[in-house]
Structure 1
Amino acid sequence: MILIADSGASKTDWRVIAKNGQIGQFRGIGFNPNYQTSEEMANDLRQDFLLDLRDEVETIYYYGAGCSSPKNRKHVESALRSIFKHAEINVDHDMMAAARATCSDQPGIACILGTGSNSCDYDGEFIIANRPAPGYILGDEGGGAYIGRQFLQDFIHDEMPGKLKEKVIDHFQLDYQTILENVYQRPFPGRYMASFCRFISENKADPYCYMLYYNSFQDFFKKYVAKYEGYKDKPVSFVGSVAYYNSEILRSAAFDAGIKVNIIIEGPIAGLTLFHQKML
């Protein structure tokens, strides 16, 4: 039996593939070794559906946020080993999940556009190039935090259309002090800024909202995708809610940048399941 996990800070999608090909699915809490110890993750892993599988699982493929460094991968492996004592455990980062889910065993460029952003050049087996992803303060072009930050800046400086600003105030009860408090005093400011993307998407018929996405996607292409060798000749795929729910704008921006879009999916777990089914 194979167990697959796609984990972020807030949730984990699990898939179980039995030897007869039958697939089971679960959703549990998320993990991030940047913020949790092995012991804390091990305690959180003691969820009933995982405990019920501990003697049947032979191989685990865990893909997670914060798993790019060997140290963090060891922390996650140690936590999983506390439950699955005899399984073969493979821990990798979310960029590899995006590559395998969208490209399978074919070469291509894989991108993540969710709260944050990331990308890689994939040869069908390995990630051969990866641009830096410095987070919501220094980067995240194309991601929700970046788009939300621009939206809030324009709100503060009266640089969005007046009618839209009135709508924002009415919808969110938003003001300058509320923004400062959430960005500078409360935890997870990146999530807060990205939370405005739903409103922006719902109003993307407004030229201002449309161009927020369009320009952010163009910034992402210039900073990341265009720096991969031969990027115009490679299929480029996307994972993440920002890409998925604004796919028509993303495709338009990509076309204008000379980029060939392959597939756009909300999350990688279905593609990962297909990828690992071949291993049975």
Structure 2
Amino acid sequence: MILIADSGASKTDWRLIRNTGKIEQHRGIGFNPNYQTAAEMASELQDEFLLGISHEVDTIYYYGSGCGTPKNRLQVEKALRSIFKIQEINVDHDMMAAARATCGHEAGIACILGTGSNSCDYDGEIIIDKRPAPGYILGDEGGGAYIGRKFLADFIHEDMPNKIREQMLDRFQLDYQTIIENVYQRPFPGRYMASFCRFISENKSDPYCYMLYYNAFQDFFRKHVMKYKDYKNKPVNFVGSIAFYNSDILRNAAFDAEIQVNLIIESPIAGLTLYHQKMP
């Protein structure tokens, strides 16, 4: 049996392909070896679904954020081997997941706009170029943490419309100290900042909220897509909740930047399942 995982900072989608062809699915906590040790990830993997299939799985294909270096891939593999006592565990980064899920065996530019952001130029088989992805402090343009950070900064400095600020106060009971504590003192500040994107999306008919997304997407295009050779003539695909739930704004921003948006999906897991089902 084959087990496929697509793991981001906030969640992991698991798909089990049984030998009969039946597919089972599960959603669990997200992992990132940039911020977690192998032991911490192994502890989080003590999941009822995974423990229940640990003796049945033959092969694992794990795609995850933070898995761009050999050291980090080894950490994830070590965590997985604490549960799965099998030979074949393949760990790859989330950009390969996005490329295989959206492009399959065709050439194109694949992008991630979720809690964080990333991109690559894919020739149909391998990634031929990619941009740096330095995370929520130095990068993540267009991602949820990036947008949430701007939103919270505007809240602190009272640079947002009063109507939006009042709704924020009513819904979240926010204050300066709570924000500072969550961003600087508690784990996973990127997740915290990105968590406000649902509120922003719900209010994107307001020009302020609309422009938060629009400007963030333009920043992403400048830092990522426009750096690839011949980008105007390549289909550009997106995965991730920020892209999916704000696809209208994303397509408008792309049109203005003369970028051809092709596919926008929330999660690559369905495409990955199809990709691995077709593997010889």
TM-score normalised by the shorter chain: which range applies? Answer: over 0.9
> What is the identity percentage for the equivalent residue pairs of Structure 1 and Structure 2?
77
In structure 2, relative to structure 1, the CA distance for the partners of 1:179 and 1:37 (3 Å cut) is: closer
Tell me the distance in 1 between the aligned counterparts of 2:123 and 2:131: 15
AA aligned opposite 2:196: F
Match of 1:205 in 2: 205
In structure 2, relative to structure 1, the CA distance for the partners of 1:196 and 1:40 (3 Å cut) is: closer
| Contiguous gaps of at least 5 residues in structure 2 | none
AA aligned opposite 1:45: L
Match of 1:271 in 2: 271
Note the alpha carbon deviations across 1:58-107, whole angstroms, 9 max, x for none. 32111112211111212222333344333422110111111111111111
Note the alpha carbon deviations across 1:195-222, whole angstroms, 9 max, x for none. 2111111011111111111111011101
| Contiguous gaps of at least 5 residues in structure 1 | none
Post-superposition shift, 1:194? 1.4
Post-superposition shift, 1:253? 0.5
AA aligned opposite 2:69: S
Correspondence 1:233-248 to 2 at 5 A: 233-248=233-248
Point out the more displaced range, 75-84 or 58-67: 75-84
Backbone CA RMSD of aligned residues: 1.9
Structure 1-normalised TM-score? 0.92
Point out the more displaced range, 180-189 or 249-258: 180-189
Match of 2:26 in 1: 26
Match of 1:230 in 2: 230
Task: Indicate conservation of the 8 Å contact 2:9/2:115, yes or no.
Answer: no
Correspondence 1:101-120 to 2 at 5 A: 101-120=101-120
Post-superposition shift, 1:48? 4.2
Match of 1:57 in 2: 57
Note the alpha carbon deviations across 1:125-170, whole angstroms, 9 max, x for none. 1111111111122111101111112212222333222222222222
In structure 2, relative to structure 1, the CA distance for the partners of 1:116 and 1:29 (3 Å cut) is: closer
Secondary structure at the aligned position of 1:13 is classed as strand
Point out the more displaced range, 46-55 or 111-120: 46-55
Tell me the distance in 1 between the aligned counterparts of 2:246 and 2:141: 15
Correspondence 1:99-138 to 2 at 5 A: 99-138=99-138
Task: Indicate conservation of the 8 Å contact 1:111/1:120, yes or no.
Answer: yes
In structure 2, relative to structure 1, the CA distance for the partners of 1:147 and 1:54 (3 Å cut) is: closer
Secondary structure at the aligned position of 1:124 is classed as coil
Task: Indicate conservation of the 8 Å contact 1:113/1:242, yes or no.
Answer: yes
Tell me the distance in 2 between the aligned counterparts of 1:158 and 1:173: 15
AA aligned opposite 1:265: I
Secondary structure at the aligned position of 2:53 is classed as coil
Post-superposition shift, 1:266? 1.0
In structure 2, relative to structure 1, the CA distance for the partners of 1:31 and 1:185 (3 Å cut) is: closer
Match of 2:139 in 1: 139
Which runs of structure 1 show a deviation greater than 4 angstroms over 4 or more consecutive aligned residues? none
Tell me the distance in 2 between the aligned counterparts of 1:243 and 1:182: 25
AA aligned opposite 1:230: D
Tell me the distance in 2 between the aligned counterparts of 1:171 and 1:51: 38
In structure 2, relative to structure 1, the CA distance for the partners of 1:264 and 1:193 (3 Å cut) is: same
Point out the more displaced range, 8-17 or 141-150: 8-17
